[in-house]
Structure 1
Amino acid sequence: MGTRKLGQLEVGAQGLGCMGMSQAYGVRDNDDESIATIHRALELGVTLLDTANVYGNGVNEELVGRAISGRRAEVVLATKFGITFTQDGQRARGDAAYVKQCCEDSLRRLGVDHIDLYYQHRVAPDVPIEETWGALAELVAEGKVRYLGISEAGAATIRAAHAVHPVTALQSEWSLWTRGIEDEVAPTCRELGIGIVPFSPLGRGFLTGSITSAEDLPADDMRRNLPRFAEGNLDRNLAIVEALRALAGEKGVTAGQLALAWVQHKGVDVVPIPGTKRRKYLEENVAAVDLALSEEDIARIEAAAPADAVAGERYPEQFARNVGR
């Protein structure tokens, strides 16, 4: 595949989200297949691999580290810090000592001497962004990190972080059923020359059409706790998938490929990171990079999946409070 630039960082036009290999979407069932999927991604021109210290409580970083052993030069390695879990749910941290310790721990688990793109996973409400990004800037100066990113942040926070050290990439959810960054956040990124890395560009798998009921999901799947997959909301959202399926049929592709191609067409500064732990789905996702869409196609897709037609919030409250700060 071709390449795109996130700020000054050149990567393949599509990346690979590795979270689901270790948590969230059912049991961790086959590390060998996950590693084979990463290797196949590299063969197909995917260079950006995305993980985080919190995925599987460090297990995902270890898995990615094993997969890229001996192939470090082929990879643009992204990981994150900033989410912890307490009895009350999810908490964001950003104090300087924590930032530096997280980096050391991630380097060890990944088995590398530097991280290519290091994200602040969530913005801490009780720590000035200048403290967090001051610590990050020191990590860059020390050579432990090459570029910095931020995830699920609001426009004002992005500007404040960028004033301390250049932000290379924003990672936020962006898909046909999650378009909240379009009004203010994406324009801010473009004004500042910041690339955009959409996670869950397939609506956490929903836009592929493979999920028709919550019963289709494993018992421990996190999506069972997300409002959009709840009874009532899910039924309404299925109408969006059916409309996409009809349009996709005209082009001889899947609904998921059409939805992913829509994200790919949002700009040359956009590098989506669909997640999968299976080579079959990886190859289907990568094929969407080459799917050409006309302005008429895009208009028809957006008419079939209007932003205001989606039923349910993205997250339950305990997670939603950490988004958009």
Structure 2
Amino acid sequence: MAINTIKINIKSMGAEMNRREFLKITSFMLAGAAAGFNGADIMAKEHKYSMPLRVLGKDFKVSALGLGCMGMSANHGPARDKKEMINLIAEAYDLGINFFDTAEIYGPHINEELVGSALKRYRKQVAIGTKFGLYYPNGKQLEDARPESIRKALEGSLKRLQTDYVDIYYQHRIDNKVPIEDVAGTMKDLVKEGKILHWGMSEPNIETIKRAHKEFPVTAVENQYAMSFRRHEEQTFKVIEELGIGLVAYSPLDRGYLAGQMDGNTKFDKKLDMRAGFPRMSHENMTKNRVIIDFLKELGNEKGGATPAQIALAWILAQKPWIVPIPETTNISHLRENIKAVNITWTKKEMEEINKRLSKIKLYGERYQPESDAAKSVYNLI
């Protein structure tokens, strides 16, 4: 390893590195150089714990669990303390997570700024996903995937994330005013320019997936998927498996409900927490749906006292090898709890029995208000 390579890697770690971190990493690099390792190998060893990797699409390798960052800044109550959230993201990295999810609309913008600040020292060792094309001018939902809008959005995201590329760039919601072929063509150009490495879509229908993938291969679809929300198993799974596309599962704990701490008495801030308007999170429906929490607790007891959140995440990991859940949290203890899900496994026969029982559990409440723009956009009806 050449000395000038060491200098480049150190410089890329960011201006906020303190002297102790600098000396520690430099010593690792010099030792690694003598042993024949490169800088990326040495930095990869800085994780305190290992995490199994999964492959999305053809070659996008990420940790089996990612971290959704939205709630740190918006939509799930007031924005959390920035320093505390930076520490939480650093802890996630130490625990082996290398995949972090954000979007320009979260805040808007402040979540990307948070993620950029937290990850700049680890930039070459992590994968960042962000999203474009979903806006709320005057409180009205708007999708905009015009090529010029995509480029403008990406430049803003790169600046806020303090990086010159995004690992995976998602279309946040499908814009039916713009042919998906035009979107895919723009993604192809951005990959050629080195500004993004992969691309994906959030909540597309299967025909849109097929058309997009034909124009330029899609790496991942980001959809809501949880033990309590399995709609995508019916058609989407078959299509993306045939095409070699991965699934990034957002809200794998169903907006936090499957962690088991919410019930009919849980209240959400109507101005700051989007869950206040979700039918499934109403007093009545959260009370009725406790039956699935009881089932999670039963499964947890069979696994030596695993928590409902751990069971819910482990269940997703057991469904397909190309699924990566990205649970959100703003609590370090919950982060550490979630990480342990990767150690829970079931036999094929056990999973068949679990899914059979799960399919018989009736759940109440839609995820979005019927006929709302949000509901229409996830079903591509706008």
Question: Which TM-score band (shorter chain)?
Answer: over 0.9
Are 1:84 and 2:139 matched, yes or no?
A: no
How far 1:189 moved relative to its partner? 0.5
Matches within 5 A, 1:63-142: 63-87=114-138, 89-142=140-193
Q: Residue 34 of structure 1 aligns to a residue in which SS?
A: helix
Are 1:323 and 2:378 matched, yes or no?
A: yes
Q: Check 1:213–1:197 CA distance in 2 against 1; reply closer, same or farther (3 A cut).
A: same
Separation of aligned partners in 2, 1:312 and 1:86: 28
Cα RMSD of the aligned pairs, angstroms, is 1.5
Q: Residue 223 of structure 1 aligns to a residue in which SS?
A: helix
- Counterpart of 1:160 in structure 2 is 211
Are 1:260 and 2:313 matched, yes or no?
A: yes
Ranges in structure 1 where 5+ consecutive residues have no aligned partner: none
- Counterpart of 1:4 in structure 2 is 54
Matches within 5 A, 1:1-325: 1-7=51-57, 8-87=59-138, 89-213=140-264, 215-219=266-270, 220-251=272-303, 252-306=305-359, 309-316=362-369, 317-325=372-380
Separation of aligned partners in 2, 1:120 and 1:12: 22
Q: Deviations over 1:44-103 (max 9, x none)?
A: 111111000101110000000000122101111110101011346322111111011001
Q: Residue 280 of structure 2 aligns to a residue in which SS?
A: helix
How far 1:256 moved relative to its partner? 1.2
Q: Check 1:276–1:112 CA distance in 2 against 1; reply closer, same or farther (3 A cut).
A: same
Q: Check 1:210–1:216 CA distance in 2 against 1; reply closer, same or farther (3 A cut).
A: farther
Ranges in structure 2 where 5+ consecutive residues have no aligned partner: 1-50
Per mean C-alpha deviation after superposition, the further-off stretch among 69-78 and 49-58 is: 69-78
Per mean C-alpha deviation after superposition, the further-off stretch among 82-91 and 151-160 is: 82-91
Separation of aligned partners in 2, 1:79 and 1:29: 20
Q: Check 1:293–1:217 CA distance in 2 against 1; reply closer, same or farther (3 A cut).
A: farther
> What percentage of residue pairs aligned between the two structures are identical?
38
Q: Residue 108 of structure 2 aligns to a residue in which SS?
A: helix
How far 1:246 moved relative to its partner? 2.2
Separation of aligned partners in 1, 2:353 and 2:77: 34
How far 1:218 moved relative to its partner? 4.1
Name the count of aligned residue pairs: 325
Report if the CA contact (8 A) 1:83-1:90 is conserved: yes
Report if the CA contact (8 A) 1:244-1:304 is conserved: no
Q: Check 1:32–1:88 CA distance in 2 against 1; reply closer, same or farther (3 A cut).
A: closer
Separation of aligned partners in 2, 1:87 and 1:303: 45
Q: Residue 249 of structure 2 aligns to a residue in which SS?
A: strand
Q: Check 1:214–1:159 CA distance in 2 against 1; reply closer, same or farther (3 A cut).
A: farther
